[in-house]
Structure 1
């Protein structure tokens, strides 16, 4: 796994009324060193939102509905995992929190026939005058990720 990427498996407490699960707590500094912003987004089936990375912030991702194929690529020149790719399947079928460190490119593809919702937390607030959003095309030849489903 890419250095400094962390996964937290969520624990669902279920009863006859439904369920409850904690996402992130202030006593988990290994997940989010500080709180900057929480955001909510939805994407339609088949959409690919990739790639981007940040120079100053870490992201903590969670997909509460739908499912997504999440792809990470380590761009950090000082990382011993530079150039490595990780793939995670997140969402209703695998409720996890995924910490994406600054300098790691990330993106996702919505899987299945329904939209996917993402809630994410960042260590910095978005600044529209100086956005910490560096874009890379979804089909970048250096990352060279094949987004097609492989039927087996």
Structure 2
């Protein structure tokens, strides 16, 4: 796994009323600090990739729908520089994924329904100086094939 990436398997506490699930706590070693919480929704088949941050870490969670999440380590000083990791997240696999600064990330919505993402950052978004660097979804440096492999 890419150096600094963390995966937290979530625990659902279910009863006859529904369920409760903790995502991120201040007594865990997931975030260096809290900056902002946001939510987004994407339609089936949409690819939102790639971007990375120089100042902030991200924490991603997909409460509905399913996504293929792709990470690529851009950090010069990392032991895992140039490594690609793929995670399948969402209703079928409820996990929290910590993405360190300097790791490019993006996702593709899987299945036939939209996917919602809730994400936390260690910095608040600054529209005057956004900490968001873009890389094309099909950039040859990353070289990720987003097509589903029929096996």
Q: Runs ≥4 in structure 1, deviation > 6 angstroms?
A: none
Please list, as runs of the form range in 1=range in 2, the aligned pairs for 1:118-137 lying within 5 A after superposition.
118-137=117-136
Task: State whether structure 2 residue 57 is matched by structure 1 residue 58.
Answer: yes
Q: Give the C-alpha shift of residue 51 in structure 1.
A: 0.1
Specify every segment of 5 or more residues in structure 1 that has no aligned partner in the other structure, as ranges: none
Specify every segment of 5 or more residues in structure 2 that has no aligned partner in the other structure, as ranges: none
Q: TM-score, normalised by structure 1?
A: 0.99
Q: Give the C-alpha shift of residue 61 in structure 1.
A: 0.2
Cα distance in 2 between the residues matched to 1:55 and 1:120: 17
Cα distance in 2 between the residues matched to 1:63 and 1:125: 20
Number of aligned pairs? Answer: 151
Q: Give the C-alpha shift of residue 38 in structure 1.
A: 0.2
| Cα RMSD after superposing both structures | 0.3
Q: Give the C-alpha shift of residue 83 in structure 1.
A: 0.1
The aligned counterpart of 2:4 is 4
Deviations, residues 20-57 of structure 1 (Å, cap 9, x unaligned):
000000101x2111000000000000000000000000
Cα distance in 2 between the residues matched to 1:132 and 1:42: 21
The aligned counterpart of 1:17 is 17
Q: TM-score, normalised by structure 2?
A: 1.00
Paired residue secondary structure (2:149): coil
